[in-house]
Copies of this chain bind each other. A is one copy, B any other.
């Protein structure tokens, strides 16, 4: 937000311990009367202010997304929420219902959609540069669980608790990003999947390594591999979209380039800031080519989009060049976990709900 420079942090509920909340809020230069002891209190009070917050940002653990989102939406306050949206499709559908009734802005921080070269890839695919899409591969590998899970800090612990993290572990945590990026890049919806959810780390109560075979609209096949127990991978989100004319590849750990390897011809390495970027790509560039951008700038681009949409008011859905990761995407992310659990249990293909 500081890079985007479009938001001020003016209120917050930072802890269930009022003293901790107050200290945290003061460190952020927030006026004492807007440092709240709970999100319930915060929504109630802010809703009544004439200078109320323009948007509420929900960054609690997964199982604490539903209630603040619901309260904010019912107060008509726009919401930015971490993914996954919530931990069950029932809850997700309830939020969708409330949000869509009032057309309230709702966006999820699918961070990786903010990278310029991801947007450039999407625009090139839409323009037919790959030809027809024939296959979509995505992997998302991390190593944070590979070590002894008993040594994980607080952030790790709730991620291993199904009551808090939701029905899946690695899949809900990172697989959702991977799934989302395929739908974003292709504009195609997943229609069915065959999942194998595995736990390779002893003592971890949830899936840590997942393989999903995917089917998309138009008969396109896909493959998703995600793991939080893959040594040597820090935040290894990587996709490979195979078309009839070329294959597009990108990797989050080297986000400045987009590889188009072409049928029988020289590879093209597109670069952020290049004169041949697509318009969507160029619009999300913060720095000149060569001065690398990265994770924070991607988030900043996402927040700049959010700001632009929020300023557009009721027409917020059409305010950005690239579609916002909205509450329907959030619902699909939650459905992913539920459908995958079912498929894994049955060792069989299961249809993906179209909603």
Binding site for B on A (CB under 8 A): 2-3, 5, 134-135, 137, 141-143, 146-147, 194, 196, 198, 200, 209, 211, 213, 221, 223, 225, 227, 229-236, 242-247, 252-256, 260-271, 273-276, 287-297, 347-349
Listed A/B pairs (16) with beta-carbon separation below 8 Å: A134-B230, A142-B290, A146-B263, A194-B347, A229-B242, A234-B289, A234-B291, A252-B292, A254-B254, A255-B292, A260-B266, A265-B275, A266-B274, A291-B294, A293-B294, A296-B296
Taking CB atoms, residues of chain B closer than 8 Å to A287 are: 295-296
> Quick check: B209 and A221 within 8 Å, CB to CB?
yes
* Count of this chain's copies in the oligomeric assembly: 4
State how many angstroms separate the Cβ of A301 from the closest Cβ of chain B: 13
A209-B221, A266-B268, A271-B266 known; A232-B261 Cβ under 8 A: yes
Closest 10 CB pairs of A and B: A232-B261, A234-B290, A235-B290, A292-B294, A231-B263, A264-B275, A267-B269, A291-B295, A2-B2, A234-B289
Q: Is the CB of A232 within 8 A of B254?
A: no
By beta carbon, the residue of chain B nearest A287 is B295
Once A234-B273, A291-B235 are accepted as A-B contacts, the answer to whether A267 and B265 lie under 8 Å apart by CB is no
The dominant DSSP class at the A interface is loop
Contact of A231 among B146, B211, B242, B296 (CB under 8 A): B242
**B residues in contact with A231, CB < 8 Å:** 242-247, 261-264
Q: Please name all residues of chain B whose beta carbon is closer than 8 Å to the beta carbon of A265 when the two chains form the complex.
A: 274-276
Known A146-B263, A232-B246: A196·B221 in contact at CB below 8 Å? yes
The CB with the most chain B CB atoms within 10 A, among A2, A137, A143, A268, is that of: A143
Q: In the complex, what's the smallest C-beta–C-beta distance from A127 to chain B, in angstroms?
A: 15
Listed residue (A231, A232, A270, A349) with the most chain B CB atoms within 10 angstroms of its CB: A232
A274 to chain B: which residues have CB within 8 Å? 264-266
Q: In the complex, what residues of B have CB within 8 A of residue A347's CB?
A: 194, 348-349
Q: Which residues of B contact A264 (CB under 8 A)?
A: 143, 147, 231, 274-276
A98 to B301: give the CA distance in the assembly, Å. 44
Cβ-neighbour of A211 out of B213, B245, B255, B290 (below 8 A): B213
B225:A137 contact, CB within 8 angstroms: yes
Nearest residue (CB) in B for A265 is B276
A49 to chain B, nearest CB (A): 22
Q: Residue on B with the closest CB to A249?
A: B232
Contacts of A211 in B (CB 8 A): 213, 221, 223
Instruction: Look across to chain B and name the residue whose beta carbon is closest to the beta carbon of A130.
Output: B231
| CB-defined contacts of A273 to chain B, threshold 8 Å | 234
Q: Could you tell me if B213 and A196 are in contact, using CB atoms closer than 8 angstroms?
A: yes
Compute how far the CA of A223 lies from the CA of B198 in the bound complex, rounded to whole angstroms.
13
Least CB distance, A315 to chain B, in whole angstroms: 26
Chain B residue contacts of A263, Cβ below 8 A: 143, 146-147, 231-232
Select one of B200, B213, B233, B348 contacting A134, CB under 8 A: B200
